[in-house]
Amino acid sequence: QKEVEQNSGPLSVPEGAIASLNCTYSDRGSQSFFWYRQYSGKSPELIMSIYSNGDKEDGRFTAQLNKASQYVSLLIRDSQPSDSATYLCAGSGAGSYQLTFGKGTKLSVIP
């Protein structure tokens, strides 16, 4: 069974610090990975997608993928209180359009 694991948190970081969110996956066939942010009572919104080993940067966000270790991470630089949310990691396998979601990590950025 395909699984995506995340530490549920909560993860608390002070404003301006780097928040590091981690995710592991069990399906070696997974090829595409996504990080979503979900505010309480709202639907998820896409932050980053990553398909290749290495880092991918977009503004304050950096996604990292290590397929050998089956590990995906999201770094948030200069964390802001508005970044406080639950972050969902998701992966999809080869030839599959379905996403498998982790349970999410709740991030709190303390002013």
Give the Cα separation of 111 and 95 in Å (integer): 43
Instruction: State the minimum distance, in angstroms, from the CB of residue 26 to another protein.
Output: 15
List residues bridging with 46 in a β-sheet: 36
**Tokens 């290749």 belong to residue:** 52
Instruction: State the minimum distance, in angstroms, from the CB of residue 3 to another protein.
Output: 11
The smaller minimum CB distance to another protein, of residues 43 and 69, is found at 43
The smaller minimum CB distance to another protein, of residues 43 and 82, is found at 43
In whole angstroms, what separates CA 97 from the centre of its chain?
18
* Residues at the contact surface with another protein, assessed by CB under 8 A: 34, 36, 41-46, 48-49, 58, 88, 90, 97-99, 101-104
The smaller minimum CB distance to another protein, of residues 22 and 49, is found at 49
CB 102 within 8 A of CB 4: yes
